[in-house]
Structure 1
Amino acid sequence: MALDTFNPPVAPAVDGAPRERTARVTTASFGDGYSQRAPSGLNSVATSINVRWPPMTIGQAQTIDAFLTSKKGVTPFWWTAPGDTAARKWTCGTWTVSPHNVALGIIGEMTAIFREVFDL
């Protein structure tokens, strides 16, 4: 299955993209409190990013919302995060669209949480 590439019409704010790294570790505990730890699998450190877009037009917000909705939080997509040089696979199960100002035709802000995945 070919993956879609996420190319939002508005680039997310670089300063608003904190990255959280999660390491999966397998631990074996032995007597007397001794334990050993090892990475759990080849891709044991995954990243999640809280992505924030600046104010944009309603049409731009609808484009981003439609893309994320089409993935339903389970289908991965390629995306190059701010500051990265290569695209990685992500899923997005949570995003928000702030109330819009119809008179001005803008959305206040959009946020999303992207989680790195290592599917085949």
Structure 2
Amino acid sequence: MALKTFTPPVGPSPGTAFEPQIKVLEAEFGDGYSQPTPDGINNVREKVKLNWDGLTEREMSAINAFFMARKGAEAFYFKPAGYDRPLKWTCKEWGRTLTDGVWKMTATFVQSFTAQI
């Protein structure tokens, strides 16, 4: 099954946060010396926090339905601002808030290195 591409009905609001996740194995020795090494070939993965402000119920429902369909486990393609091509991501964390009839959504994407294409 081919991976879906996330194309929200409206782009994320300003304020997208990019926070790489780094996995390093490190042996520490008694004299203060340490020996770090990358944990695997993909030890650096991107983490992106997105916000959507001022959504209609229809826009919020479309974004929420996409995340619910992936169930936090299925990867998808998405091209955040600042990237020249789409990357594979998973989304295990998202939420929505309703204030005075206007929806706000947040989502955290983590880069996926699955074999799925």
TM-score tier by shorter-chain length is: 0.7 to 0.9
5 Å-filtered alignment, 1:1-120, equals 1-13=1-13, 15-30=14-29, 32-99=31-98, 101-102=100-101, 107-120=102-115
In structure 2, list runs of 5 or more residues that go unmatched.
Answer: none
The answer (yes or no) to whether the contact 1:58–1:100 under 8 Å persists in 2 is no
Q: Please state how far the C-alpha of 1:101 moved relative to its aligned partner.
A: 4.4
Query: Following the alignment from structure 2 to structure 1, what is the Cα–Cα distance between the partners of residues 112 and 95?
Result: 21
The answer (yes or no) to whether the contact 2:60–2:103 under 8 Å persists in 1 is no
Q: Please state how far the C-alpha of 1:47 moved relative to its aligned partner.
A: 1.4
The CA RMSD over aligned residues, in Å, is: 1.6
The answer (yes or no) to whether the contact 2:57–2:103 under 8 Å persists in 1 is no
Give the counterpart letter for 2:41 in structure 1.
L
Whose helix fraction is larger, Structure 1's or Structure 2's? 1
Query: Following the alignment from structure 1 to structure 2, what is the Cα–Cα distance between the partners of residues 62 and 8?
Result: 10
Query: Following the alignment from structure 2 to structure 1, what is the Cα–Cα distance between the partners of residues 52 and 37?
Result: 37
TM-score (norm 2): 0.88
In structure 1, list runs of 5 or more residues that go unmatched.
Answer: none
What secondary structure, in the 3-state scheme, does the structure 2 residue paired with 1:69 have?
Answer: helix
What secondary structure, in the 3-state scheme, does the structure 2 residue paired with 1:8 have?
Answer: coil
TM-score (norm 1): 0.86
Give the counterpart letter for 2:16 in structure 1.
A
| % identity of equivalent residues | 37
What secondary structure, in the 3-state scheme, does the structure 1 residue paired with 2:65 have?
Answer: helix
